Amino acid sequence: MADPTSGTPAANPAATPATIAPELLALREQIDSLDQDLLALLNRRAGLALAVGELKKKEGSVVFRPEREAQVIDGLKASNPGPLKLDSVAPIWREIMSACRALETPTRVAYLGPAGTFSEEAALGYFGSSIVRVPCTSIDDVFRTTAAGAADFGVVPVENSTEGVVARSLDIFLTTPLFIIGETSLFVRHNLLRKENSLEGIEVVAAHPQALAQCHGWLSSHLPNVERQPMASNAEAARQAALNPKLAAIASVRAGSEYGLHLVSPAIQDDTHNRTRFAIVTDPHRHPAPKASGHDCTSLVVSVVNRPGAMYDILKPLKAHDVSMTRFESRPARSGQWEYYFYIDLQGHPDEPHVHTAMQELRQACAYFKVLGTYPLDVH
């Protein structure tokens, strides 16, 4: 940058307003004019959302409708003529709907904090930035806070493409009164962050146990003799790194800027396609299950008695009624009897007759059967 006190002209001519080409000026004028049109249209849209909000207040119905938001985005993507990229449609309209929703009512969202966690990023990606953030100290705390009504929704990690299931979330699903109304997933890039901009002198690397595991290969080859310290969250590790120069944190770039750390080594996760999937949970007494959107998922947890053919009995109704199973995970039932709970995702919504019948028959075949939720698939 040019020094404004030196009297010498800026080195970069593009930065000097006097050199703006007439063609550029003309294009910018058109952009300014369109932005005014967009602003007027967005305000008209906001006015309609306010009217919808009034109607819902009269009916006593809830504001957030994940199936409607998914349909709005799906519809716009299908009719997008370009050159705006398809990937840009969902984030733009999520923000627009977030702002409109906030005019109807505040949306309080609990997630694993502190500021700068991937859970926070997932919450903002799903609900947009016009929300009331409720950072929590643990996954248990996210469920508790939402069940107690101190937040309207909770965002909890359920699986990672490298490390597999987030066991704590799955275990709590068994007993929580909350149910799932949405899902979202995030590319997770881990970075080594520190007060000093160097790998020299690091004595401890701190992060959430999942992040330590996802960077195991990199840590073994670059910092083989450094202690690995598990933390409640990556952002908490970043906070600690700001206080202790011998401690490096694995966390997001956002967490690094939040706590004033150097990005010593970017993208140190072993798998470059590392993704984490999150579930959006809420209290069924305060929020109804989303209606069918056309692209839905239904999550169940079941167990079967330990006998030959039991697993076949689970799969039979799904095949008979042509219902796809997109996920199947097992967790020990902790009975000491080698019994398991099975977490199953089905494609479709129970309002669709074939899904409804398959679920009824599946229920008959199971010793334990709980619907964790039914919700629109993540739209990108």
Ligand X SMILES: O=C(O)C(=O)C[C@]1(C(=O)O)C=C[C@@H](O)C=C1
Q: Which residues bind ligand X (CB under 6 A)?
A: 49, 52, 63-65, 68-69, 72, 97, 100-101, 104
Residue with the shortest CB distance to ligand X: 100
96 or 310: CB nearest ligand X? 96
From the candidates 145, 173, 278, 282, give the one annotated as an active-site residue.
Answer: 278
Closest to ligand X by CB, 75 or 266 = 75
Distance CA 54, CA 145 (A): 28
Nearest partner of 218 among 205, 237, 208, judged by Cα: 205
124 versus 238: smaller Cβ distance to ligand X = 124
| Residue carrying structure tokens 């109607």 | 55
- Shortest Cβ 349–ligand X spacing (Å): 18
Residue 158 beta carbon to ligand X: minimum distance, rounded to whole angstroms: 22
First and final C-alpha spacing in the chain: 38
Report the residue number, 116 or 182, with the smaller CB distance to ligand X: 182
**Amino acid identity, position 29:** E
Assess contact for 379 and 90: CB atoms under 8 A: yes
User: Active-site residue among 145, 146, 176, 276?
Assistant: 276
CB of 98 to ligand X, least distance (A): 8
Task: Please enumerate in sequence order all residues whose Cβ is within 8 A of that of 330, keeping only pairs 6 or more positions apart, or say none.
Answer: 340, 341, 342, 343
Least distance CB 68 / ligand X (angstroms):
4
| Alpha helix segments (H runs only) across 128-215 | 139-147, 167-175, 209-214
Q: Shortest approach of ligand X to residue 45 CB, angstroms?
A: 7
Nearest to 103 by CA among 48, 40, 165: 48
Torsion, Cα of 83, 87, 90, 93 (10° steps): -30
Among 198, 158, 207, smallest CA distance to 329 is for 158
Task: Tell me how far CA of residue 39 lies from CA of 35, 69, 76, 132, 255, in angstroms.
Answer: 6, 21, 19, 24, 32
Distance from chain centroid for Cα 144? 19
d(CA 291, CA 372): 15
Closer to ligand X at the Cβ: 46 or 115?
Answer: 46
| 341 within 8 A of 331, measured Cβ to Cβ | yes
143 labelled catalytic? no
Q: How far is the CB of 53 from ligand X (least distance, A)?
A: 6
User: Is-catalytic flag, 118?
Assistant: no
Decide whether 107 or 169 has the Cβ nearer to ligand X.
Answer: 107
Q: Which residues are catalytic?
A: 276, 278
